[in-house]
Structure 1
Amino acid sequence: MKKEDKVSTREKILHIATALFHKQGYNATGINQVIAEAKVAKASLYYHFPTKDDLCIAYLKERHRKWEQDFRAFLRDKPNKVIAAFDAIIDDNLKNDFRGCSFLNMLSETPPQKTKIFEALQYHKLELQKFFASELEDSELAYQVYSLFENAIMESQLFRSQAPVLRLQKIVVSLLDKHQG
């Protein structure tokens, strides 16, 4: 098998797993479904991903890469990236039918003893915290805004509404105004 074929097969498997894990969740997605939808042999899947956890970690890494790329692109021309981050949630809710955060969804399905998966989940959230810290000079304020951002994602998913995002965005505006004044 040529190297290009291996990369192509790996990417195909990862693409299908990403779509299924994002849509159905990790536990509801079986390896046999991934194999069938990717149209690959079981040996090919296990060659690239020896365990379902390995596939999950690759999914989380790819999801983080794609999320960060889309998030940064959304914010690129926005004058206030902190406030615009909440608009990014609204945009994502419209595109993904209030599916919420893939990382928080995965967290709810993952027992703590799966440390490598937990590390991938934590990495994403730590990078998000770094984003807010880089935009705001006050680390405590950055963490408060990060926490409100996370809450906006969860509440909008739970209630299938943009109202929590808008409400929490107003709170952030107020916090920023107080911090500047």
Structure 2
Amino acid sequence: MPASVSTAPTTALAPRERILATAARLFYAQGVRATGIDQIIAEAVVAKATLYYHFPAKTDLVRAYLARRHDAWLGEFSAHLAKSRRRGLPALADALGRWFESGDFNGCAFINVTAESAEDEWRQISCAHKGALRELIAGRLDPALSPARRAALSAQALLVVEGLIVRYQMTRDAAVVDEGRALLASSRWVRTRASTSAASKGFTM
């Protein structure tokens, strides 16, 4: 969701910022594994010693990339939500639609990194990001709902949001947004069981 970054290095930026901006663009566009340190050095126009001074290992660079992505993505997603004419959960689909149409959409950076590597740290960082997104979603729900109900509904809505992201990444079909919006507006999918024993028997639509 963060705005596209020019492929040309911005040499006016401080070296650390230039390295991170370049790495972020490349990691998101082509993946962490496919992006080598030499490519980052060349496109950021820095010396190898400068890169390793700021980021001693590639994992340090990935960690900084995900931290920046977390803040930028949630900030822009919140801004898109505020622009939606819809209230409640359907606005989530509107915000996603704006992201999908941004021109540089390549899926969820956190899902992509986790899928590339079995590194537990990336999984934990990604789960924390999704937890923050779930809290943002919970903020769209009726504050009169019980904590348990809000937790259940926000978890279910997060599954829909994640599904929309992956589905659009696969198909690039704008109809995905309309389908997701209709699902988020439906009252059927958010029903929860009244008791633990009933829930153990499975979810029934």
Same fold (TM over 0.5): yes
Q: Does 1:130 align with 2:135?
A: yes
Deviation, 1:123, is 1.5
Aligned partner (choices 152, 174, 180) of residue 164 of structure 2: 152
Aligned partner (choices 155, 164, 170) of residue 176 of structure 2: 164
* TM-score, structure 1 as length reference: 0.86
Distance 2:154 2:132 in 1: 12
Q: Does 1:34 align with 2:40?
A: yes
Provide the residue aligned with 1:69 in structure 2. 75
Kindly indicate whether the alpha-carbon contact (under 8 Å) linking 1:75 and 1:81 is maintained by their aligned counterparts in 2. Answer: no
Gaps of 5+ in 2: 1-12, 192-205
Provide the residue aligned with 2:203 in structure 1. none
Aligned partner (choices 150, 163, 173) of residue 185 of structure 2: 173
Kindly indicate whether the alpha-carbon contact (under 8 Å) linking 2:16 and 2:51 is maintained by their aligned counterparts in 1. Answer: yes
Alignment root-mean-square deviation, CA: 2.0
Aligned partner (choices 102, 125, 144) of residue 109 of structure 2: 102
Render the CA deviation track for 1:66-120: whole Å, top value 9, x for unaligned: 1011111112244515222211211111113541111111111011xx2322222
Q: What SS is found at the alignment partner of 2:182?
A: helix
Provide the residue aligned with 1:3 in structure 2. none
Kindly indicate whether the alpha-carbon contact (under 8 Å) linking 1:13 and 1:45 is maintained by their aligned counterparts in 2. Answer: yes
Q: What SS is found at the alignment partner of 2:56?
A: coil
Render the CA deviation track for 1:110-135: whole Å, top value 9, x for unaligned: 11xx2322222122111011111232
Deviation, 1:54, is 0.8
Deviation, 1:175, is 2.5
Which AA in structure 2 matches 1:125? Answer: K
Which AA in structure 2 matches 1:149? Answer: V
Distance 2:172 2:101 in 1: 10
Kindly indicate whether the alpha-carbon contact (under 8 Å) linking 1:26 and 1:109 is maintained by their aligned counterparts in 2. Answer: yes
Which AA in structure 2 matches 1:116? Answer: E
Identical aligned residues as a percent: 37
Q: What SS is found at the alignment partner of 2:14?
A: helix
**Compared CA separation, residues 81 and 19, structure 1 to 2 (3 A):** farther
Provide the residue aligned with 1:16 in structure 2. 22
Distance 1:40 1:31 in 2: 11
Q: Does 1:53 align with 2:68?
A: no
Distance 2:68 2:50 in 1: 19
Count of equivalent residues: 171
* Structure showing greater Rg: 2
